[in-house]
Every structure is written in C-alpha cells, then in structure tokens.
C-alpha cells in the first residue's frame, strides 16, 4: 500500500514508477488519489474546528451544571444545538472518504526499484551472470519426472485425480520420504547456516492477513477458502429487492455490522419458497459465509507474524523459515503444465521471510537469494538467476530474483524460487513499524520473502537430473543422511 503523503510529495516518481510497470494511465490515477485526499483533508479541517468548539462548550456546560447555573447551561446548550448534527454528518463523510481512499490505494501495485529492468513480460527478464551455477548433466534421452516417478511406482496421478481431481498427486515409498528429506535438509541449512528461526505457522488465515501481504483484495480468485460457518441474515439487517423489469436482485445491509456483512456476502441466498417479481421479499435471505483462507504460501503467516506491531531496531532483522503446504486455485492456468508435479493445487514449500530496516533490505535481499541458491548448490543442480522485469513482478514486490533450475527432461529452466524485496509496501498494509536506537518510531519496516525452495519442484529437479539409464534415481549425497543412508531410489 502506498502512502498518500509520499505520493503528494513525489507525484512524478509515483507516476513514473507505475508507468514503468506498464500502467497506462498512472497520471490520471495519481491525480484522482490526490484529489480524494484533498477532499478528505478539507472535510477533516472543517470537522475538527466544529469538534473543538463542541469540546469547549461541553466543558463549560459541565462547569455550569456543577455550579447550578442552569441559565448559563441552557444558553450554551442552545449554542451548540446545531453542531451535533453537523459533526455527525462530517464524521460519516470522513469515514466514507477514508474508506474510499483506502480501497483505491489497496489495489495499486508497488513501485519497482530503480535497478529493475523495464519490460512487459518474462522475455524482458535479465539474467544475473554472477549467480549462474553448474553445467547441464549429459543424460542420454532424458525422461520427464512423471515418467520416472510413475515407472518407479511411487508417483500416482490417476488415483489422486480419483480422490481430489486434477493437479494433485500421491507420492509413495522412497519418493514420499524424499520429499520429507528435502524439506528437512532445507530447514536445517537455513537455520544452521543462515540464522533463520524455524516456525510452524497456521495455514488457515483471516482476510486481514491476506490483505497485509497483498493477496487480497485483488487476487481472491487465486485462493482457496474454507467455509467455517454460514448465517442467514434476516430483515432487520438486510433488505432484498427484486427488480420487476430485469429480475435483478439487490441487497442492502443495514445496522451496526452492515459493512462486515457486505464484505462477507458472496451473492448466495436462502429461499424458503419460490418468489415472484415484486416489491416485498420476506422469504428470501442473504447468506453470509464466514471463512478462512488457505495460504498460497507461508509468506502470509510468517510476514503477518509482526502485523500491527512496533518492533525495536535492535531485534532486526527478524528471519523466519517454515515448511508448509501451499494451496493455489490456479485460476487462469487451465491447460498449462497439466502433466506432472510442476503446477499443483497443493504443494509444499520451505519459505524464507525477513523483516528489516530500509537500510538493510537490499543487502538482505541478496543474502536471502544466497540462502535459496545454497540449497541448489549443495544438491549440485544447475540453475540460473534472473532479475524480473517491471512487467513480470508480483503485485507487492519492488524487486524480485527468480531462481530457475535446469530440468533435462523438459530441456528448459523452470522457476524453483522467487525472492522479493517488498520494501515498506506490505508493512504499511499490516501497519508494522520499528523504533530506532533513539526510541523514535522511524516508519514502516521492510519485508522480504523467498522460496527456499519449492519442495515439489526440487523433487522434480532431482528426479530429472539424477535419473539413471536403468530407471533408478541417484540420491544427492547431502540428502543421503536424511534417507537412512540410501544412495538410490529404485523400483523395489
């Protein structure tokens, strides 16, 4: 989330940054935001003058009543009689304008860092030569990971489809154990070598956490949700109208939790008998769903760990790592990567999150990328690193490195990690700040996140890079201790 004051101070920088990202009308957006802010401040200024007058008068009324001076009290009461209405109107206006501005700001993506290359899509990403590692293994007629896994009898997509549908998998035997070994190896490396604290976080979270890291409100269709409970809203809290011409149904919520209800209303109704077009609809009720979200990445619970807090600079950087399942709806990916384990509705990942100061964050970003690469180096898997161009970066990122591992079976590099510096963007959404050495609040922290690494794709990479001519798969030496000393995986 952007700071409106920062936009006001540097409108051109804001417009230039968003234009670099590919936004067509950044100038108009900036003007609209600044205009909304101006209107809000005008309302505030007027309202506060009225509030100050009311406060003074109320104090005097209190004194007068204590002195039994009913005449003076009455005079003062008459004086402020009209003020109450105006103040309430002003407060309502303030709420509305603040909410409007907040909503408008909530969907604006982060500004790319100055050293991010400009471009429209992944073709404009720029390799980081100094971070390239390894050589492609010479494998004769390499197989793809699902061919290898299925031939081993330890990877089963058909049964997963029977039970859960497309984009799920069963791993069995040594492959199931290998997944666990990979995760344990990653966690041990990050905690022991890089000082990350291992965390086992919640994987179901509230709206507010998803808002904090930027998945909501814009990317709801990528998420899965649970239905924790549902509620039928009666006529005291909702009015339902059916348009007799178009048949369109309109719902208006009222009462003290109207705003919450509006937010939780997903367009479902409960009917206790058929209704005809007309004005009164007493037998149709809106259904409110109270739900949790399934995390698409552990970035969400790890980053939100510090939401709403003021941290001491001395305790930064905060480094956390977690091994969790991740759930993604993959809306809009229909037909892409349909075979194999590359794109799943459920996969596991070891995540890295750092909370730092603005001064530290660029260095921390490099360090985090080092930590992620260290895993691939120890596994001796060839890979390259690219700096994402402005058009390919995620919503909350100001700079992102993708790590792409070589997959002989696919004869290509595939993303296995994405390390992003989000700057103060998420911290502002979460309201996480820090106190400097002098004890003064010194603004929003910077947040960073990166995969360290995607466990499923790491397993894919091992299968394809360590495949043997006889159909077995060699186990990388660093994983052998985690596999009970085994050196290879074979059919049985």
Interaction site with RNA (CB under 7 A): 5, 41, 44-45, 47-49, 51-52, 54-59, 61-63, 65-66, 77, 80-81, 83-84, 87-88, 91-92, 95, 229, 255-257, 259-260, 290, 310, 433, 439-441
Give the three-state DSSP class for 464: helix
- CB closer to RNA, 294 vs 460: 294
Task: Write down the number of H helices and E strands in the chain.
Answer: 14, 23
Q: For residue 274, count other CB atoms closer than 10 A to its CB.
A: 7
d(CA 402, CA 358): 22
Please return the burial class of 92, using the count of CB atoms within 10 Å of its CB with bins 0-12, 13-18 and 19+. Answer: exposed
- CB closer to RNA, 24 vs 81: 81
* 197-198/318-327 β-pairing: parallel
**Eight-class DSSP state of 112:** P
Alpha helices, DSSP H only, in 266-321?
A: 299-303
- CB closer to RNA, 247 vs 439: 439
Minimum distance, C-beta of residue 440 to RNA, in the bound complex (Å) = 6
- CB closer to RNA, 179 vs 230: 230
- CB closer to RNA, 47 vs 474: 47
d(CA 461, CA 464): 5
d(CA 488, CA 150): 16
Q: Are 304 and 110 in contact (CB under 8 A)?
A: no
Minimum distance, C-beta of residue 83 to RNA, in the bound complex (Å) = 7
Alpha carbon separation from 97 to 49, 274, 400 (Å, rounded): 18, 40, 34
Q: For residue 455, count other CB atoms closer than 10 A to its CB.
A: 26
E strand residue ranges, 161-300: 170-171, 197-198, 204-205, 224-225, 229-232, 238-242, 249-253, 265-271, 284-290, 293-294
- CB closer to RNA, 84 vs 227: 84
**Eight-class DSSP state of 300:** H
Minimum distance, C-beta of residue 297 to RNA, in the bound complex (Å) = 22
Minimum distance, C-beta of residue 77 to RNA, in the bound complex (Å) = 5
- CB closer to RNA, 63 vs 477: 63
d(CA 364, CA 375): 17
- CB closer to RNA, 89 vs 339: 89
Minimum distance, C-beta of residue 256 to RNA, in the bound complex (Å) = 3
Minimum distance, C-beta of residue 103 to RNA, in the bound complex (Å) = 15
- CB closer to RNA, 157 vs 253: 253
- CB closer to RNA, 61 vs 178: 61
d(CA 349, CA 417): 10
Residue whose pair of structure tokens reads 């394809």 in the numeric block = 464
Minimum distance, C-beta of residue 141 to RNA, in the bound complex (Å) = 46
Minimum distance, C-beta of residue 58 to RNA, in the bound complex (Å) = 4
Long-range CB contact pairs, 248-257, < 8 A, 24+: 249/284, 251/286, 253/286
Minimum distance, C-beta of residue 105 to RNA, in the bound complex (Å) = 13
Minimum distance, C-beta of residue 223 to RNA, in the bound complex (Å) = 19
């Amino acid at each position: 989330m952007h700071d409106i004051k920062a936009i006001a101070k540097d409108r051109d920088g804001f417009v230039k940054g968003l234009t670099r990202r590919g936004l067509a009308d950044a100038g108009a957006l900036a003007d609209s935001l600044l205009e909304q802010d101006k209107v809000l401040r005008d309302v505030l200024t007027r309202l506060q003058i009225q509030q100050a007058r009311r406060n003074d008068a109320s104090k005097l009324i209190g004194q007068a009543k204590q002195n039994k001076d009913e005449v003076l009290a009455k005079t003062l009461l008459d004086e402020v009689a009209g003020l109450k209405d105006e103040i309430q109107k002003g407060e309502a206006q303030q709420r509305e304008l603040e909410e409007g501005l907040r909503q408008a700001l909530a969907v604006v993506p982060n500004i790319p860092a100055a050293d991010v290359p400009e471009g429209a899509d992944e073709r404009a990403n720029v390799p980081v030569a100094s971070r390239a590692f390894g050589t492609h293994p010479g494998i004769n007629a390499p197989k793809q990971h699902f061919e290898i896994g299925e031939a081993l009898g330890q990877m089963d997509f058909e049964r997963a489809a029977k039970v859960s549908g497309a984009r799920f998998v069963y791993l069995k035997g040594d492959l199931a154990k290998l997944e666990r070994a990979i995760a344990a190896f990653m966690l041990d490396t990050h905690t022991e070598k890089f000082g990350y604290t291992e965390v086992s976080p919640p994987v179901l979270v509230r709206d507010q956490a998803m808002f904090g890291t930027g998945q909501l409100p814009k990317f709801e269709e990528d998420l899965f949700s649970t239905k924790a409970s549902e509620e039928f809203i009666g006529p005291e809290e909702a009015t339902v109208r059916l348009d007799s011409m178009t048949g369109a149904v309109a719902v208006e919520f009222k009462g003290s939790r109207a705003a919450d209800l509006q937010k939780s209303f997903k367009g479902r109704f409960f009917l206790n008998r058929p209704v005809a077009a007309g004005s009164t609809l007493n037998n149709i009720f809106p259904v409110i769903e109270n739900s949790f979200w399934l995390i698409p990445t552990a970035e969400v619970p790890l980053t939100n760990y510090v939401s709403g807090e003021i941290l001491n600079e001395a305790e930064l950087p905060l480094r956390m790592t977690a091994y969790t399942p991740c759930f993604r709806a993959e809306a809009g990916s229909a037909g892409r990567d349909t075979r194999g384990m590359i794109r799943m509705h459920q996969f596991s990942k070891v995540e890295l999150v750092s909370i730092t100061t603005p001064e530290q964050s660029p260095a921390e970003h490099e360090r985090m990328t080092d930590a992620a690469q260290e895993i691939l180096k120890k596994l001796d898997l060839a890979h390259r690193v690219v700096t994402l161009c402005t058009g390919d970066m995620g919503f909350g990122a100001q700079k992102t490195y993708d790590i792409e591992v070589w997959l002989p079976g696919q004869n290509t590099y595939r993303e296995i990690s994405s390390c992003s510096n989000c700057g103060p963007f998420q911290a502002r959404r979460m309201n996480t700040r820090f106190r400097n050495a002098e004890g003064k609040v010194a603004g929003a922290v910077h947040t960073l996140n990166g995969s360290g690494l995607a466990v499923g794709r790491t397993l894919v990479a091992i299968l394809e890079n360590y495949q043997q001519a006889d159909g077995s798969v060699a186990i990388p030496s660093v994983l052998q201790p985690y596999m009970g000393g085994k050196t290879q995986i074979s059919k049985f």
